[in-house]
């Protein structure tokens, strides 16, 4: 555990983002494969539960040292994250994974825009926006409801960034994320629990649903917590532009959702935008005791 913490505290944020993104969308691809047997909102609920259990299992003493303010902050963060997961799964049940993430990225873009202070960062953000809009060029048509779900998820993603940064500074390791997700799982239980019957009687479905939480939340969001301690919210938000790119790749590789030439153009613009942004000084984070 100490070695893992050391790596997460010193590795380049871009490299950590690649690992986080791959893990998140491998989890999403697993989720899509079980949507025919389990309702998306139920898979999202198990995703949050599975992640909370995994994170708290590797956080000894997670229940100690909490103030009322800390718990409220973790609860707001966990609720925003759980709602983001819930509406994201409702969206990707209707729209391709890559396009869904591109539309969802409007939330991080709004946060990055609010934090941008220089011409170079503004240029990087514009390139990322153009790339994301290109990737997200989905025809509304019969997907109106799916787009609405993704837009709600987008707003929750913005809240995830802002509140996640605060939780990351309060607690070392991933205990804050684990406690937050435990609270979030309770909040979205009315949406996920009523259709959970098939999961409880099938070890395979239970394993797959919980695996989405381990890959997408425990690993993906756990890495985010370390990155949020080291770089400003603005840079974090722009780096998130790599996620639509990764989602397109995973959707093509695992789900057969082949990207078009326009999609590849969008990917290129996003990568250029990430590359040209200003680099802030990276702060080494002390290992948790």
Nearest to 268 by CA among 244, 237, 240: 244
Q: How confident is the model at residue 5 (pLDDT cuts 50, 70, 90)?
A: low
Q: How confident is the model at residue 266 (pLDDT cuts 50, 70, 90)?
A: confident
Q: Which residue has the tokens 């997961």?
A: 85
pLDDT, tens digit, 9 for 90 and up, residues 74-105: 899 999 999 999 999 999 888 877 777 777 77
pLDDT, tens digit, 9 for 90 and up, residues 194-225: 999 999 999 999 999 999 989 988 888 888 77
Whether residue 152 is predicted with pLDDT greater than 90 in this model: the reply is yes
The pLDDT, as a whole number, for residue 202 is 95
Whether residue 124 is predicted with pLDDT greater than 50 in this model: the reply is yes
Q: How many CB atoms lie within 10 A of CB 123?
A: 15
Query: Six-digit token pair at 228?
Result: 């949020």
pLDDT, tens digit, 9 for 90 and up, residues 10-24: 777 778 878 888 888
Longest Cα separation, the chain: 56
Q: Which helix (H) or strand (E) holds 95?
A: none
Q: How confident is the model at residue 170 (pLDDT cuts 50, 70, 90)?
A: low
Query: Six-digit token pair at 196?
Result: 């959970």
Nearest to 216 by CA among 69, 26, 15: 26
Q: CA distances (Å), 67 to each of 64, 127, 159, 179, 232, in order? A: 9, 42, 21, 13, 25
Distance, C-alpha 137 to centroid of its chain: 21
**b or e along 62-93 (b: 16 or more beta carbons within 10 Å of the residue's beta carbon)?**
beeebeeebeebbbbbbbbbbbbbbbbbbbbb
The chain-wide mean pLDDT, for the chain, equals 80
Spatial separation of the C-alpha atoms in residues 93 and 88, rounded to whole Å: 9
The pLDDT, as a whole number, for residue 285 is 34
Whether residue 55 is predicted with pLDDT greater than 70 in this model: the reply is yes
């Amino acid at each position: 555990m100490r070695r893992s913490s050391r790596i997460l505290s010193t590795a380049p944020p871009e490299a950590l983002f690649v690992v986080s993104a791959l893990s998140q969308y491998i989890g999403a691809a697993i989720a899509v494969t079980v949507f025919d047997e389990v309702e998306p909102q139920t898979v999202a609920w198990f995703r949050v539960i599975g992640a909370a259990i995994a994170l708290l299992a590797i956080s000894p003493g997670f229940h100690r040292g909490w103030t009322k303010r800390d718990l409220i902050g973790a609860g707001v963060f966990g609720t925003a994250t759980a709602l983001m997961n819930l509406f994201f799964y409702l969206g990707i049940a209707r729209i391709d994974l890559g396009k869904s993430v591109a539309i969802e990225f409007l939330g991080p873009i709004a946060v990055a825009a609010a934090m941008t202070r220089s011409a170079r960062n503004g240029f990087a953000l514009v390139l990322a926006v153009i790339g994301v809009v290109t990737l997200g060029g989905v025809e509304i048509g019969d997907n109106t409801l799916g787009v609405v779900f993704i837009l709600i998820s987008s707003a929750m993603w913005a809240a995830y960034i802002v509140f996640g940064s605060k939780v990351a500074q309060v607690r070392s390791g991933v205990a804050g994320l684990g406690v937050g997700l435990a609270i979030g799982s309770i909040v979205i239980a009315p949406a996920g629990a009523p259709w959970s019957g098939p999961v409880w009687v099938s070890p395979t479905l239970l394993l797959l649903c919980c695996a989405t939480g381990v890959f997408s939340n425990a690993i993906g969001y756990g890495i985010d917590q370390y990155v949020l301690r080291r770089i400003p919210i603005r840079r974090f938000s722009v780096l998130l532009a790599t996620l639509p790119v990764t989602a397109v790749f995973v959707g093509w590789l695992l789900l057969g959702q082949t990207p078009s030439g326009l999609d590849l153009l969008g990917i290129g613009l996003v990568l250029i935008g990430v590359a040209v942004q200003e680099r802030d000084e990276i702060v080494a984070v002390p290992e948790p005791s």
